[in-house]
Structure 1
């Protein structure tokens, strides 16, 4: 499953955040209509991410057990058109937080692809600030994401009125789109061989959904020390 959020903050048009991700997912959808796969691919365009991941939270909290077990992994694309080539730090080597088992497979596929293109990647810290966190915190599903950073050096128009159609870098979003397509092509054909499937019953699912994963606030000072800004949702509405 892959997705991106449709909304933007009131302060700006949101072309990079997250028009870039929504258009990337749409282009993959259009391309995949020409092919058949072993594994089904589900697409999502979330609402109200900037107000606290409301769309993806609602989706994950209301999935029935059978539907949860049908999801192998989730891929997120939030801000992919301006900045560095950020790959989620799923194995925790850079920042310490470790994603659910199988997420490291997604991370490595991305890293290998970018390396083959001769491109340098930057570890992207795991937070509860984008829609992958709903699949992580509510369903404990493997996930991965690409992100081009929110620091001034990466995107000085982040959550600003200047996040217009002139903001994205065509080369950056093209590389990220190709990386995303590469990932989807692999997981749609042999993801079940690469990532261990997590199976839950109604009781265990209910316990997971009662998790207080979202109760902890993001440490904004720590993120700013890394050169990032306001990765938690709702800060610049």
Structure 2
């Protein structure tokens, strides 16, 4: 909690957030580095560049003096900023429900008056391709509305993929809002955002003892979303592994422990992706020496559940879960065994690759970890097992400004940090044959049958989760 108090203070002093590429992230990183050095570690900073995006104010679209409802408008991630008032021209669309190819080809813009706002319908190609074609035809701004097909009536939330794809404002609309603009003469489009390449860093520290050929990696993302301080997401995981690292400082362990605080997770797991890709390209022996990876992303949710990643695939099918490298089942079993040993029920969450373990399992590294829930809704069964309120979210402040110190359940954080410490120490002592470890753990403890949660976490920001087409 003392670590979380510092993260909150850092956010308070830096525009309310700790997002990668901002002074708030640098302040969080400096604090972690200072604590690690004081504990006797020699931490390493790994720098990398990444595409940064932040919406300063919600995008707006107005026609005929009437502003389109806020819920029908969403800026495209990596849109350029600007205010444009100009005639609006539909491009290869009548607005009828359907997924056509509006704006996908240069010929769609034949006769398009330069300086106008292009009104396009979703479908046929990526949003980036539509925006680039419209801009090449002289569009001053681009509006892309949804197809209107079942399940595709709401506002389009999309990404252009990277800064600089378009140098004009690009905004998504609901199908109804798009159709309403077909009859408009002129629109005003306003986007106020920052879209650019920035620098950020990972922080890495490892024990001075332990077999480096059997390295146990422990990670949590240190960054918040730009919208808030990110004290649960993911100050909670970052603080927990920092506390564990401090507790283990100077201790002799059998297997090397390497702790990682990842940058730019909220922009698409970019820190962990960079780390794994760098090892794969430049130091494959070090990557091969990683015996397993443990991930802690959101472990203090106010309406929490005790969820363990479904490493054995028993709770979620292949349509939901990623393929689990051999040994992931043993990691899952270790967490369930711990909870069972202290009389606490545990459940399972999808092993989808949607947090920083994703790049590791893509290279065949066994992985697992803990999660207390994000925007998903707690069921009555889960409330009976874990306490809390059924029918509401695990974290009502997920990706919001209110994710501050008041958004932490201290008891839940304590239970999950204890579990993290126990399993980290277990594997620091012995990784062994991970499949055999899994079988042994299943017979050593018999926790209550786990319940599932079908909502994972990460890549957790809008840029990472939004559609590209």
TM-score (norm 2): 0.42
Name the residue aligned to 1:99: 324
RMSD over aligned CA atoms reads: 1.8
Name the residue aligned to 1:114: 339
Would the aligned equivalents of 2:265 and 2:458 in 1 still touch at CA under 8 Å? no
Richer in helix (by share): 1
Would the aligned equivalents of 1:9 and 1:236 in 2 still touch at CA under 8 Å? no
Q: How many residues align?
A: 207
In structure 2, what is the Cα distance between the partners aligned to 1:229 and 1:125? 6
Task: Assess, with a 3 A threshold, how the Cα gap between structure 1 residues 17 and 106 changes in structure 2: closer, same or farther.
Answer: same
Would the aligned equivalents of 1:75 and 1:143 in 2 still touch at CA under 8 Å? yes
Name the residue aligned to 1:148: 372
Deviation of the 1:189 alpha carbon: 1.0
Would the aligned equivalents of 1:81 and 1:148 in 2 still touch at CA under 8 Å? yes
Q: Following TM superposition, where does structure 1 have runs of at least 4 consecutive aligned residues deviating by more than 4 angstroms?
A: none
In structure 2, what is the Cα distance between the partners aligned to 1:40 and 1:26? 16
Would the aligned equivalents of 1:72 and 1:195 in 2 still touch at CA under 8 Å? no
2:397 is the alignment partner of 1:157: yes
In structure 2, what is the Cα distance between the partners aligned to 1:229 and 1:5? 15
Task: Assess, with a 3 A threshold, how the Cα gap between structure 1 residues 115 and 69 changes in structure 2: closer, same or farther.
Answer: same
Richer in strand (by share): 2
Match of 1:185 among 411, 425, 434: 425
In structure 1, what is the Cα distance between the partners aligned to 2:338 and 2:229? 31
3-state SS of paired residue (1:106): helix
In the alignment, structure 2 segments of 5+ residues that lack a partner are 1-216, 377-391, 437-452, 465-469
In structure 1, what is the Cα distance between the partners aligned to 2:256 and 2:457? 35
Matching of residues 56-135 of structure 1 within 5 Å:
56-63=272-279, 64-82=283-301, 83-96=304-317, 97=321, 98-135=323-360
In structure 2, what is the Cα distance between the partners aligned to 1:189 and 1:91? 22
3-state SS of paired residue (1:62): helix
In structure 2, what is the Cα distance between the partners aligned to 1:230 and 1:106? 18
Deviation of the 1:120 alpha carbon: 1.5
Match of 1:173 among 410, 413, 438: 413
Higher mean C-alpha displacement, 18-27 vs 108-117: 108-117
TM-score (norm 1): 0.82
In structure 1, what is the Cα distance between the partners aligned to 2:332 and 2:255? 20
3-state SS of paired residue (1:119): coil
Task: Assess, with a 3 A threshold, how the Cα gap between structure 1 residues 195 and 186 changes in structure 2: closer, same or farther.
Answer: farther
Deviation of the 1:175 alpha carbon: 0.9
